[in-house]
Structure 1
């Protein structure tokens, strides 16, 4: 189970669980509850679950928290059913995105029952509802501050297709958050949180206009987080990032251009930055050829020219100046 990094102003953490294997079922729910309480926290209280669920908790799950947003992925091999919902955190909204099976909710003030089949999502604004699912159901639950959405949605629920471009982009981003949440620093937490908020708003708005200014910043930030985790990958490119984020290359490039740079220049500058850090911090000075190869420059000459243009010194000159300065 991953450890949480929680600091004032950018609380975040995550954990994963697979209780579908032999020997894991009897303690599966206790492990899940402990992970939730220690990694996610009191801002997102767990509901009370039925005895049938706690006694036979066969799920694959991953949970991430980024400030006031929580992402819960559940892939269940057993029945999941609540026996009561907690109080005191009604000022939240939940988005249930069903990928397989059927997710059911009910027990709200209006007593309405909601059934969400695969390929649909339900947004609930207000107090949580009882929920349940048959075995072999896969769902993502995104918990957000209610202020994200229009006041006209208050204490209401609505269902829509989960196949929109907005939803594909949101799901791509939440997958990245799951993969990186425990390693994010303050800037990464801020970017990941902002992107989720803006993309969730775009899903509800029911439109994705790649010329809309409000969506460009979160798209750029999501691309940067993804690029930063693949800087040494020879396949890293605008096309790869666009594919992972489920947008066109043109859309991604336009968003970066508005932000004042290109995708290619961002990747090159970040690679140079990491190369410079290696020259300044490693006890063994890496060779120019090693750095050029590792950070995906075509050859040593190209790397040296790019480094000098960026920092005003060749890599060797920079390394010597750092060592001459000393601690």
Structure 2
């Protein structure tokens, strides 16, 4: 069925809702899928090229709700296993930028230049210009934002960007999309409110894309250096951990760990090494006790500090000081 209210195609009250059930084993399953979509959505929601995998069991179910704000729309999607195509070559959402927030299941998009699979807690943003093939896993739930490509500055490093939903920019955009959906299910918004909701979605997506560029592997060395510089300025911070570092750099923890994948140490190993080096300097330049030095640089206790120091330098802190005094 299609639920619709008002006559303006940009009205938030106009919410086509597609609900489809097709047996996977039906010999005309693909024809049934397309015919149900067309009958329910009509011209409000053009049908992309779709087909059901032949190995599916039970029934295929699709539920899709769209909320429009002029040329920007939000979709709440649930789908079982499905194959399809989109992009300019297929006339479906051509010249759009689309952001997918995945909450359950799996979605894979593939073009000649890139292939990305998103799982729960992940997102991807892509330019829907070239032809894309997509595959949806059973029980997939996602929220999608789509807008004309000309309204956004898409990064130049590729046609698709993948990342985590736990970055501050992604969380802010998702909160706005959910708020729009909740408000849109009530009374229709006025034109000024619709413009504001539309413009906010565009700006928040742009902010997320600008942050998400850092997930490009070519920029990982720059991110790793920025992380090391941040660590150096906050070595005495007892709350210094991957989450705090990632938040300060406006990236996800996953991206931070990926940036250190090709380094000689992980981010926290780097923190521990630098603290050990600073502790060793204190042993040589102050009269603090070993326990005081260990506490300043956030070792669990003096025994842990002594073992770490001996493992790294081949001698205990006391032996270091004795040797330094003898040399003096």
Question: TM-score, normalised on structure 2?
Answer: 0.51
Larger Rg: 2
Structure 2 CA distance for partners of 1:205 and 1:131, relative to 1, 3 Å: same
Select 2:75's aligned residue among 65, 72, 76.
72
From 161, 165, 174, the counterpart of 1:158: 161
d(CA) in 2 for partners of 1:175, 1:98: 14
Gaps of 5+ in 2: 213-328
Structure 1 position 17, deviation (Å): 4.1
Q: What CA RMSD, in Å, does the superposition of the two structures yield over aligned residues?
A: 3.4
Deviating runs (4+, > 3 A) in structure 1?
17-22, 25-40, 51-57, 151-155, 179-182
Q: Show the counterpart of 2:209.
A: 204
SS at the partner of 1:5? coil
| CA apart distance, 1:160 | 0.9
Q: After the TM superposition, which residues 153-302 of structure 1 pair with which residues of structure 2 at under 5 Å, given as runs?
A: 153=156, 156-181=159-184, 183-206=188-211
Distance 2:137 2:92 in 1: 28
Quote how far apart the aligned CAs of 1:82 are.
0.6
Contact 1:126/1:155, CA 8 A, preserved across alignment: no
| 1:91 maps to 2:92 | no
Residue 108 (structure 2) aligns with: 104
> C-alpha displacement at 1:89, in angstroms?
5.0
Alpha-carbon offset, residue 58 of structure 1: 0.4
Tell me if structure 1 keeps the 8 A contact 2:86–2:93.
no
| Post-superposition offset of 1:15 | 2.5
Q: Per-residue displacement from partner, 1:138-196 (whole Å, max 9, x unpaired)? A: 11222112123325438611111111232222222222323343712212221221121
Q: 2:112 & 2:5 partners in 1: Cα distance?
A: 36
State which of 113, 116, 122 in structure 2 corresponds to 1:114: 116
1:58 to 1:160, Cα distance in 2 relative to 1, 3 A? same
SS at match of 2:16: strand
- Taking the aligned partners of 2:205 and 2:160, their CA distance within structure 1 comes to 15
| Other structure's SS at 2:175 match | helix
Sort the Cα spacing of 1:172 and 1:15 in 2 relative to 1 into closer, same or farther, 3 A.
farther
* Alignment partner, residue 222 of structure 1: none
Q: Secondary structure at the match of 2:47?
A: coil
Q: TM-score, normalised by structure 1?
A: 0.51
| Distance in 2 (alpha carbons) for counterparts of 1:160 and 1:37 | 34
Cα distance between partner residues in 2 of 1:155 and 1:36: 33
Extract unaligned runs of 5+ from structure 1.
208-327
